[in-house]
Amino acid sequence: MTAPERSRLARDRLSRELRRLRTEARMTGTATAQATGMSQSKLSKIENGMLLPSVIDVERLVAELSATRETRLELVELARQLHAEAETRRVVLHRGAHRHQQTVARIEARATTSRFFQLAGVPSLLQSENYLRVVLAATPGREQDSAVTTLRARRARLDDPNKKFIFLLSESALRWRMGSADLMCDQIDHLSQTMRRPNVSLGVVPWSADANLVALHGFQVYDERVVTISVLTGNATITDPHDVREYVALYSRLERLAARGDQLEALLARISRDHRQLG
């Protein structure tokens, strides 16, 4: 049984028990709502599982409906656990390049192992200066300067031998034209230099790979605890353990498809040559 399914069953049980207590106390919904300081419609939603009651709501209900001490403790604790799970599963959206860089910088500072997967474009930590300027071209000047400053501080962590950085790109990420042929070739040269660091690993999934799976978007995984995803209007942070495990499993499957070593060097050289021919 998945975590969402367990949570759904727990919510159903809470609403069912609260409805049972009211029925056994022979109180109407209107009378119970008035006695506990809530509207009748809110109580109805709680009893029908349409609204998760707060811990205070449950405390007031079990007290008003003369529940046994054991039942009171059980239902209040159930409500507390459900709210804790709901908070864990919450996806936080951060808007703005600078705010995103700050958020990721804090996460990376605590992480020992950082994994990156990108479908279109090069990850921030691997971007050459010219590539970075193109990426941030549409960002307001002041925010752009702040984002660059924070990003450079993040890049300094590549020098920390106690931290491991694993990058995984699709071939399309390197063929996505962000500027001139010279810019793209310079970016590929930058990748070749960066992957020689002892704490950096780079793999590229070639177009020829028999993937047999769907990766809808790029993502980053930090110590198998936090996942971040870039979307059009901001950047999302995911901390739910079940969701994080799903991304870790997907990353492992993608890693098995990646070109490395001499095969990767040959692929990078071929992509660079194609950029020059197109340019």
For residues 141 and 223, state if they share a domain.
yes
Tokens, residue 2 = 């998945």
The CATH code of the domain that includes 201 is 3.30.870.10
Strands 92-94 and 219-222: unpaired
Q: How confident is the model at residue 101 (pLDDT cuts 50, 70, 90)?
A: low
**Would you call 10 helix, strand, or coil by DSSP?**
helix
The CATH code of the domain that includes 78 is 1.10.260.40
pLDDT higher than threshold 70 for residue 90: no
Please say which residue of 71, 88, 105 terminates a domain. 88
pLDDT higher than threshold 60 for residue 37: yes
Please say which residue of 88, 121, 145 terminates a domain. 88
Per-residue model confidence (pLDDT) at position 191? 94
Mean pLDDT over each residue of the chain, to the nearest integer: 87
Please say which residue of 64, 88, 112 terminates a domain. 88
For residues 102 and 65, state if they share a domain.
no
For residues 107 and 83, state if they share a domain.
no
**pTM of the complete model beyond 0.85:** no
Range of the domain at 25: 3-88
pLDDT higher than threshold 70 for residue 87: no
Query: Poorest-confidence range of 11-25, 200-214, 231-245?
Result: 231-245
Q: How confident is the model at residue 97 (pLDDT cuts 50, 70, 90)?
A: low
Give the 3-state secondary structure percentages of the chain, helix then strand then coil, rounded to 5.
60, 15, 30
For residues 115 and 12, state if they share a domain.
no
For residues 148 and 18, state if they share a domain.
no
Per-residue model confidence (pLDDT) at position 109? 81
Per-residue model confidence (pLDDT) at position 107? 81
pLDDT in tens, 114-137: 999 999 899 988 999 889 888 887
Per-residue model confidence (pLDDT) at position 148? 76
Among 201, 213, 259, 81, residue whose Cα is nearest residue 73: 81
Cα separation, 66 vs 261, whole angstroms? 70
User: What are the Cα distances from residue 131, in Å, to 79, 147, 168, 212, 277?
Assistant: 50, 14, 18, 31, 19
pLDDT higher than threshold 90 for residue 232: no
For residues 112 and 223, state if they share a domain.
yes
**How many separate domains does the chain show?**
2
For residues 75 and 107, state if they share a domain.
no
